[in-house]
Amino acid sequence: MKVSIPDIGDFESVEIIELLVSEGSVVEAEEPLLTLESDKATMEIPCPADGVVTALHCAIGDRVSQGALILELDTGKPVAEIESKSAVRPEPVEPDSSRAPGPASTPPAPERRESTDSVPHASPGIRRFARELGANLHQIPGSGPKGRILKDDVKAWIKQQLDSRTTDPGVVAGIPPVPEVDFTQFGETELLPLSRIRKLSGPHLTRAWLNIPHVTHHDEADITDLEAFRKSLKKEAEDAGLRITILSFVMKVLVATLKKYPVFNASLTPDGASLILKKYYNIGIAVDTPNGLVVPVIRDVNRKSILDLAHELSDVSERAREGTLRTEDIKGGCISISSLGGIGGTGFTPIINAPEVAILGLSKARLSPVWDGTQFSPRLMMPIDLSYDHRAIDGAQAARFCAALAHAFGDVRRLAL
């Protein structure tokens, strides 16, 4: 049986960063065979059936797309029978260095790092890591197979640069890493590995925080009448099998405000010289899952009703917690919402989901005494926190945007305008 790369969405020419089997490996259906890494995600390719790997047609560092042949599998005998004849299953091994690309008649030569014109041999994840630290991959020798640059190589290079620095701070490349500490010297510890989602989102958040000049504007909105209207829809929602939360209204108010202030519905060009104004309204919603935070995108919010949005929110939130979101479910957002209203807090500073230029944070609404001109009245006030990219948006624009948001929240009739 020939095993090829299955449908991996719209990813093309994705690098193999890890081989989990070798020739002779006994594998079961759904067991991972190899790991692919693009600039946006890491994914494992599962085995389609039980069997034994008889031939490998790929190696670490190869780039593959849907349909590429990766190995051959003998499915003639049940795995249980195969394993009963072998006390030890073959361990995955690194591919032979003779698989390095090159003419068949010419023995493979070691990759060289002296030329700055060549492309350093490193995975996208290592390239991101090096960029975040300001490390020059052209100057880093690789210790991995076929001269591949590993994370430890980047760390060692950074350490060498720091150790050799002079009093001139300009010679220090990158950001010094946090020193390692042996915490067991202070007491008992336990190692808790990060989930895959946190491992993937961590570098993205770091990159956004280091590259975007974040500023956060804090305000509050009177949602007394909006909350009363939401509760009045309870019967209609139950008839439709839905639960309408304040978030559906927030999305509609946000779109109405984005139309008035299009600079918030934009992204900077890579050179930072222009803004790309978007004519569509796709909103990312941060969802808290057992494995970490994910941000599925609700598309064309401007064209959907409150009930439509409630249905989609319920659907993507459930799939996010089950880990069944598709690649397209997390792409194409214009602006994101991070709501802590169901938990608490009086305000926070959300990190912008690059390449977006702003993110709206919501905290728990509270009854507060508000002066109406003659007396104090109890009003339900919701804290709003807008983090924005100061390269694209200035403080006055952010203040006006939040004021417009608060005004719209205060009168739900404006949603129909």
390 flagged as catalytic:
yes
Phi, psi (5° rounding) for residue 89?
Answer: -75, 145
Does position 87 have pLDDT exceeding 90, yes or no?
Answer: no
Q: How many helices (H) and strands (E) does the chain have?
A: 9, 19
pLDDT the model gives residue 206:
87
Burial tier of 339 (Cβ tally within 10 Å: 0-12, 13-18, 19+): buried
Q: Which residue has the higher pLDDT, 14 or 11?
A: 14
pLDDT the model gives residue 132:
73
What's the CA gap between 156 and 160, in Å, rounded? 6
pLDDT the model gives residue 144:
84
Q: Which residue has the higher pLDDT, 249 or 13?
A: 249
pLDDT the model gives residue 21:
87
Name the pLDDT band for 114 (thresholds 50, 70, 90). Answer: very low
Query: Which residue from 285, 377, 272 is spatially nearest to 340, judged by alpha carbons?
Result: 285
Query: Which residue from 256, 224, 222, 269 is spatially nearest to 401, judged by alpha carbons?
Result: 256
Name the pLDDT band for 80 (thresholds 50, 70, 90). Answer: low
pLDDT the model gives residue 249:
94
Q: Can you list the domains of the chain with their CATH numbers?
A: 2-99 (2.40.50.100), 124-171 (4.10.320.10), 215-416 (3.30.559.10)
| Structure-token match 């599998």, residue found | 73
Q: Name the DSSP class of 108.
A: P
pTM of the model: 0.60
Are residues 124 and 132 in contact, defined by beta-carbon separation less than 8 angstroms? no
| Structure-token match 């640059």, residue found | 149
pLDDT digits (tens, 9 = 90+) for 266-314: 999 988 899 999 999 999 999 988 888 899 999 999 999 999 999 999 9
> What average pLDDT does the segment 119-147 reach?
78
What's the CA gap between 33 and 20, in Å, rounded? 5
pLDDT the model gives residue 124:
60
Arithmetic mean of pLDDT over the chain: 83
Catalytic residue (one of 57, 217, 218, 390): 390
pLDDT the model gives residue 389:
96
The one-letter amino acid at 94: E
Query: Which residue from 342, 343, 384 is spatially nearest to 361, judged by alpha carbons?
Result: 384
